[in-house]
Each structure stands twice: as structure tokens, then as C-alpha cells.
Amino acid sequence: MERRDVVAYLDELFPPTLAEDWDHSGLQVGDLSLPCRRVLVALDFDLKLAERLQGVDLLITHHPLLFRPLREIRPETPQGRKISALLREGTACYTVHTPYDAARGGMGERLSQLIGLRETEPLAPRGRLYKLVVFVPPEAVDAVAEATFAAGAGKIGRYGHCSFRVEGTGTFLPGEGTKPYVGEVGKEERVREVRLETVVPAERLSAVVARMLAVHPYEEVAYDLYPLELQDRRHGLGRVGSLPEPVSAEAIIGRFATSLGVKRPLIYGDTATEVRKVGVCGGSGGDLWRDALAAGCELFLTGEIGYHEGLAAAEAGLTVAALGHQETEAVFVDHVAELLGRKFPELEVIRA
């Protein structure tokens, strides 16, 4: 197995297309074409880890090692020591940062499970969507549609195979050297065609287009891709969900703190209030408190929130608890290690 196989699986679970514009996720240092036997999973690449890279093929971190541009790599600086250690040991470093935060099945859902939230949805939807429009001869339209659905197109909420089809007339004039499916070289052709349209999430775009082109009978396929203003509501930062029955904010904060091993959460607002709808976002998710309030939450759990933001949230009627950036995001290590262990039983997975 190569390092790229491990990375491909992570990209499938936490698509790079979900990265925030300011983020720098993905390969930071190293060669992914080399074999992979041992993986180290960490929240941060801290200096202690620089001493533990011997025999590690792939270091997977949540926070990026390289975030701001470097001007030099010198062993007397912390960054220089880390990069030198990677190069010396031949370890590749791969970061899954905001794609893990935003992906369905990522950080938000993992944290929601800790307090038993049900029917969760993203607090701030993030997935980009495209509209694919392709012109197909009527006899091939079902096959082309099926191919795009199988590759991940046509999902709207809990509905699959969503498409729209309208029949019309297509024209074309086959040029020198073409082998047209219908018609002949040098003669304008008018044919019945179906305009088939469907929706595609960004992370499936290249796979959907490749399958569509493979199945389409034309030599030269006419198709359009439009970026949509709509968000894919399956993915997004944070989660909002409901508790099975109303519980005091204090009890939920206590449950969350215990599961994360946090002793003293920082709390803004009323803890005696009964809550049913709860928002959660790990790390520095404090800014999402307005989204939590707009979604009808009575309680918002996060890693960090600014003092004034916390006060503003409390005054708006939302109880907020901050449990620490590292403390709320540490779930990354166990989660990713579990996923890799299950998928690649032959891989040795170490947790930092």
C-alpha cells in the first residue's frame, strides 16, 4: 500500500473541495508515492512529535504545519526543526483541516454524538454545488443519467436520481476528420436531443464528468457546468440538533465537559435554562453563535469564543460554553485513527 491510498481515502471522507479559502489543507511535505506501513495521527505537529518520526511513513495532522509563507528553513527555528525532521526521516505530512471540520461525518457529527444530539444539520453549510447540463440523443439519455447518478450526481436532500429532461433540436456540422455518431462530414445535421440536467456536489464533479463522457455516445460531447449559489446542506461547519427531551443547559455542558475531559468550561448566560435545541462547533467556532441562535438553539457549545461575543450571545438569550480549542478538536485523533484502522487493517496507526 502507498501513502497515496491512505490520503485518497481521507479525501473521500473529508473532501478537499470543502476547505475554507484561507485554509491550507492537503500535502504539506513529502512524497505520497512511497509505501505506507506506519501512520501517526496528531491534532498538531508539535516539537515533541519531531522526535517521534522515525519509522513513520505518514504524519496526519488536523492543523496545518505550513500555514504562513516561510522565508527560510533553519534547524534552530521550531518550524525548521519540524521540516528537517520530516525530510530526515522521509515522513510525509498531510493535513486534513477545514475539510474535516465541514464534512458530513466529520468533527461536527463526532461532537454531536457526545451529547446525544439527533437529526443534526450543519450550522453553516459549506458544500459547493454545480449544475451539469448535457445534450444526449434520446436513446442514450437513461444510460447517461444513470452513469452520472452512480458517480454521485442528482442528490437533493434525501432524494436521489434528481434530473430534468426536455427534448429539442440540436444542430452540428461535422468537420474534416470527425467520425460523427449521426450525420456525415461537411453536412449540417439536425437531430432530436434531450437536454439532461442534474446537480453535482463539488467533490464528485470530476468523477461525474468522467463517467458521463465515458457513457455518452457522441465523439464530441456538448455539456455545460454552472457553479450554483445554493449550498450543499449535507456539509458545513458546526452542527445543530435536538435532544430527545429538554434538559438543563448545565447538565448538557457537564455531559460535554466530562466526555472531553474538561474541568472548567467558560460559560456565558443562564445555565438553569431548559434546552432542547443545541448547536456545537469545535475549535474557534465562537463566531457561529449567531447561526446557532438563528437556528433556534438555546445552547451553543464551542472551543473558543471572544469575551465580548460571549456577552453578546448571552444578552441575546443564548447560553454559550467554551471548552477549549484543543479539547474540543482532540476527537480528530481517535476518529481518524479508528477510520484508518478499520479501512486498512494491515496499517500500523499510532495516536499522538
Interface with Zn ion by CB under 5 A: which residues? 283, 329
Minimum distance of Zn ion from residue 304's CB (angstroms): 9
Task: Find, among 130, 60, 64, the residue nearest to 337 by Cα.
Answer: 60
Of the pair 62, 104, the CB lying nearest Zn ion is at 62
Of the pair 20, 121, the CB lying nearest Zn ion is at 20
Query: How far is residue 252's CA from residue 258's CA, in Å, rounded to a whole number?
Result: 10
Minimum distance of Zn ion from residue 63's CB (angstroms): 6
Of the pair 98, 112, the CB lying nearest Zn ion is at 98
Region of 173 please: left (phi>0), alpha (psi -120 to 50) or beta: beta
Query: How far is residue 60's CA from residue 70's CA, in Å, rounded to a whole number?
Result: 20
Of the pair 208, 352, the CB lying nearest Zn ion is at 352
Q: What is the DSSP string of 253-304?
A: HHHHHHHHT-S--EEES-SSSEEEEEEEE-SS-GGGHHHHHHTT-SEEEES-
The alpha carbon of residue 275 and the mean position of all alpha carbons in its chain are separated, in whole angstroms, by 29
Q: What is the DSSP string of 17-74?
A: GG--TT---EEEES-TTSB-SEEEEESS--HHHHTS-TT-SEEEESS-S--SPPS---
Minimum distance of Zn ion from residue 39's CB (angstroms): 20
Cell for 244? Answer: 430527545
Of the pair 298, 304, the CB lying nearest Zn ion is at 304
Of the pair 39, 331, the CB lying nearest Zn ion is at 331
Minimum distance of Zn ion from residue 143's CB (angstroms): 45
Minimum distance of Zn ion from residue 325's CB (angstroms): 6
Of the pair 63, 216, the CB lying nearest Zn ion is at 63
Minimum distance of Zn ion from residue 86's CB (angstroms): 21
Q: Across the strands, what pairs with 135?
A: 195
> The cell 442514450 sits on which residue?
140
> The cell 457561529 sits on which residue?
288
Of the pair 232, 329, the CB lying nearest Zn ion is at 329
Burial string for 280-289 (b: 16+ CB within 10 Å, else e) reads bbbbbbbebb
Q: Contact 72/80 with Cβ under 8 angstroms?
A: yes
Minimum distance of Zn ion from residue 44's CB (angstroms): 9
Query: How far is residue 241's CA from residue 38's CA, in Å, rounded to a whole number?
Result: 37
Minimum distance of Zn ion from residue 156's CB (angstroms): 31
Of the pair 327, 329, the CB lying nearest Zn ion is at 329
Q: Which residue is nearest to Zn ion (CB)?
A: 283
